[in-house]
Amino acid sequence: MEISTAITLLSALAQDTRLRIFRHLAQNGPQPAGQIGEAFNLPLATLSFHLKTLQQAGLLDCRREGRQLIYQARCAVIVELLAYLTEHCCALPSSSVIPLENLTRSPVAMPGKTYNVLFLCTGNSARSILAEVLMNHHGQGRFRAFSAGSHPTGRVNPYALRLLELQGLPCDGLRSKSWDEFATPDAPTLDFVFTVCDNAAGEVCPFWPGQPLTAHWGVADPAAAEGDDALKMLAFRSAFRELENRIRIFTSLPIHSLDRLTLQARLDDIGQTVLDTAS
């Protein structure tokens, strides 16, 4: 790392709001600009200035998803900065330097752990319900799945229930509920939170105890399909296959041996997976 790069990084972080924004993204994973602004109650112009400063310094990545800009902390840059400061500024002997792999290669959990997974959408009536059942099925005891909504409809879509029955998957206990249930002190500690609709991804989520990894796995809303029963069921089958494809990829990951940065990248990649409808 060049000294000019180190100065740029330190200058970008030497401001209270920018440091808090970077820490927020590092702890909570990628988020839309609007969600970041809501979290810190910042006007749009102020938020844009801080995000641009962090991005230009190389501390944030930015990608576009539809009309939203999604920002992600580049934690590896901080590791490089620490290494530079340790070697060139502190003059510490090599025996006292913390190996970089200890900072970036810490596994998420030990083998044998059961991971709690929450799927979110707006109404918690279709996509998140399907994902909950699929994760519990394919997780084979390694994953315990839940679902919730930012504005739950209060009922599970009948087409979702019918499809699950046709697939031979259990429907007992399924209900449409608020995500607030998972932000209480006695709620399960979450390891992963996945949004499966664009609305939920853009809204300000409650505080999740345990700092779970998050990702957006957007799927078209089958409940919005128009036409007769056959066409509506076709839309639900398409959503079902897309979710199942992503969940199969996720459950095959060697989670216990991956560090948070690597695992976060894998989760984001899964969210970009497109189902091959020709197969």
Select which of 62, 89, 90, 197 is catalytic. 197
As a whole number of angstroms, the distance between CA 189 and CA 100 comes to 28
Measured in residues, the chain has a length of: 279
Q: How many CB atoms lie within 10 A of CB 258?
A: 18
Q: How many CB atoms lie within 10 A of CB 33?
A: 18
Residue 89 appears among annotated catalytic residues? no
Of these residues, 62, 75, 90, 121, which one is catalytic?
121
Residues 6+ apart with CB under 8 A from 68: 32, 33, 34, 198, 201, 202
Helix (H, G, I), strand (E, B) or coil at 113: coil
Q: Hey, what are 195's tokens?
A: 């949004």
Cα gap 169→10, rounded to integer Å:
53
121 is catalytic: yes
Catalytic residue among 62, 89, 90, 205: 205
Residue type present at position 189: T
- Residues serving a catalytic function are 121, 197, 205
